[in-house]
Amino acid sequence: MNFNPEYLLNAMVYALLGVVIYIGSFAVVDKVTPYHLWQEIVEKQNVALAILVGLMSLGIGVIIAAAVH
């Protein structure tokens, strides 16, 4: 199997696209919630919200990975 630089470039472009979409979708989730996520999780120690946001992040990541793949 030969190394083709186009494959590396394509992988980097899709990875960057996935990261940008992930950050954008997480910003939308943060704006849609009725409270400030960072303050609620870090300052008020809301573990349930941290778990929920973590699971939503994983879900968004899986969806983006499947769409980019």
Q: In a structure prediction context, what are the per-residue pLDDT tens digits for the chain, which is 69 residues long?
A: 688 889 889 888 988 998 898 899 889 988 998 888 888 999 999 999 999 989 988 998 898 888 877
What SS3 class is residue 34? coil
Name, in order, each residue with C-beta under 8 angstroms of 57's C-beta and a sequence gap of 6 or more.
26
Look at residue 2 in the predicted model and tell me its pLDDT. Answer: 81
| Cα angle for residues 52, 54, 10 (degrees, 5° grid) | 140
Map out the domains of the chain as residue ranges: 20-68
Written as six digits, the tokens of 34 are 């009725």
Look at residue 8 in the predicted model and tell me its pLDDT. Answer: 86
Cα–Cα distance measured from residue 5 to residue 33, given in angstroms and rounded to the nearest whole number: 42
